[in-house]
Amino acid sequence: MLVALLVIGVHSKGDLVEWELNLFQRANANKNAQCEGFEILEPPGHYAGYYTIDGTEDGHLSYMYFENRYKDPDAPLLFWTNGGPGCSSFFGLFMENGPYDIQEDLTLCWKEHGWDVGHDIVFVEQPIGVGFSYSSDIADKVLTDERVGHDILEFFYAFLEQHPELVEKDLYLSGESFGGHYLPVIAKAMIIANAHMGDPQLRLKGVFMIDPWTSPSSIYYSYPEYAYEEGLISRDTRDQMFSAWGYCDNALRLCDMKLPYIRTFSCNAAYAFCQSRLFTPVLFLHPFLNYYDIRRRDCYISGCYDISLLTRFMNNPDVKEALGVKEDIDWENCDDAIRRELGWDVATDVKSTVAAVLNQGVNVSIVNGDRDFICNYKGNERWTERMVWDKADEWASAERQTLKVAGNDAGYVRQVTPLSFVKVANAGHMIPMDQPVVGLELITTFTRGKDYPTAASKPLLVT
C-alpha cells in the first residue's frame, strides 16, 4: 500500500533517521467521489522518521513531518502533540488536523482544512511508549513534564539539523488536552535553552493550546457550575459538589508543594478525591455522557470515540513498513502504563509556567470548545484570570468580543497581547474535528501574529 523510500537501519543514540513518505500518491490515486475537489500540481514533501533520544538507553520517538500543501517558503513551522497523558499525536494527525482523512478501504483523501494548509507541520508521538515510539529499557520511562520538555527540545535540535531550511522559520507549539501541561513546559525548556546556548536558536513565537488541562483547581471548580448551567445536574447536586471543592483545592495545593518522598502519593490522592467529588457525580447521573462533547450520550467505549478505522490503518503491515515500525510494535491510541506513570502529574498546576512563557513575550492562546465538559471553557478562562503575570491587570479588564469566522458568529474572544482566550461555539474537546473551518482560521491567524477576527476585523483564512 505505502512504500518507505529508505531502508531503515539501526538508530544510534541521539540520531534522527528520516525518509520520504510516499503518502501523496496513495491519496491522489483515490478518485472516488469523497476525494474530489483537490488538485495538487506539485506534491509537497512528506516524511516519517525516528529520533533516538540523547541521554536515554533506547528511547525512540516516532514522528511524521509534512511540508505545507502549497509549498509557501514563508509558512511557519508548527508542532502538534495530543495529550492523555499517554495518547498518540497520530490521532490528531488523522482525526483532526493533518493532511489526510482515512477511508473505509484504508485509502486516503486530502483533508480540506488540514493545518498543512499554510504550515509546515510535525506530529510527534511522545512521550516514549506512546503509539509507535518505544524503548526496550525500563530506565527510559518518562515520569515528569520536565522530561517531556527535555526530549522534545533534543528532538528539535536533531530535526532542524535534518532540515536546515527550517532553522530560520518561526516556530509554534500546538496541542490539546494534557498538552496544556506538555506545551508550556516544552516552551519554557526552549526559552531557557535559547538563553544559554548558541546556535541554533529556536525561533519560538507562540503556544496554541486547545481545551487544555493546565490548572486542575480551576477546572474542578468549574464542573458544578458548568454542569448546572447545561442542565446536567440539579441545584442541590451543584451545591453538594461545590461544598467539596475547598477540600479538593487544599489537596491540590498540597500536591503542588512538591514535598519530598510523598509528592506522587499526595498528587494521586488529590486527583482521586477531586474526581470522586466533582466529576464522577455528573457521570453517575449520565453514565453514557460524552464528557468531551455534551451533545452526545453515546460514550459506550473508553475514550468515547470509535477509532477502529484509525487503529486498523495504523496497524496495517504496509503502513507500519512505511513508517519504519518494528513488526512486534502494535499501535494503540493511548497507553495505560504511561497514564499510570504520569497520572500523578494530572493533579499539578502549570499556569505559573504559562505565566513565565508569557513574560518572555511568547504569544499564548487558549482555545476552548463550548460543548467540552472535561476541560471546559469556564475552568480554563478562570485560571487565566487567576494567573500572576506582567499584564494581569490589563487582562482583568479585557472585554469579550464576538468571534467572526466566514461571516458567522463563532464564539467569543478576549485578547491582550501576548495572551488570548477563545470560546468556540458548537465544538467539543477536539475543535479541529468539530469546527474545521474555525480551527484553521484560528491557527492561521495566530501563527501570522494577528488578532483574532471579530466583527470589526477582516478574516485571514488561508485557502
- Kindly state the cell numbers that stand for 373: 465538559
Determine the Cα–Cα distance for residues 196 and 192; give it in Å rounded to an integer: 6
Separation between Cα atoms, residue 136 and residue 364, nearest integer Å: 36
Say which of 133, 174, 177, 222 is annotated catalytic: 177
- Per the annotation, the verdict on 11 as an active-site residue is no
* Cα–Cα distance measured from residue 313 to residue 325, given in angstroms and rounded to the nearest whole number: 13
Q: Which of 453, 381, 448, 455 is nearest to 419 (CA)?
A: 381
Whole-angstrom Cα distance, residue 116 to residue 98? 7
Element (H, E) at 104: none
Segments of 213-296 assigned E as strands: none
Distance CA 125, CA 144 (A): 16
Strands (DSSP E) contained in 67-119 are 77-81, 100-102, 108-110
Question: Do residues 90 and 125 make contact, with C-beta atoms less than 8 angstroms apart?
Answer: yes
> Among residues 447, 388, 399, which one has the least CA distance to residue 421?
399
372 is catalytic: yes
Return the amino acid letter for 309: L
* CA 311 to mean position of chain CA atoms: 19
Active-site residue identified among 46, 140, 429, 434: 429
286 catalytic, yes or no? no
- Give the angle 444-201-156 at the CA atoms, nearest 5°: 70
Give the orientation angle of helix 377-386 with respect to helix 216-229, to 10 degrees: 140
| d(C-alpha 357, C-alpha 172), whole Å | 13
Exposed, middle or buried, 410 (CB in 10 Å: 0-12/13-18/19+)? Answer: buried
Q: List, in sequence order, every beta strand (DSSP E) within 87-233.
A: 100-102, 108-110, 120-125, 171-177, 204-212
Residue 440 C-beta-side C-alpha neighbours within 13 Å: 20
Active-site residue, from 145, 293, 349, 372 = 372
Packed helices 263-278 and 235-256: angle between N→C axes, nearest 10 degrees? 170
Q: Which residues are catalytic?
A: 177, 372, 429
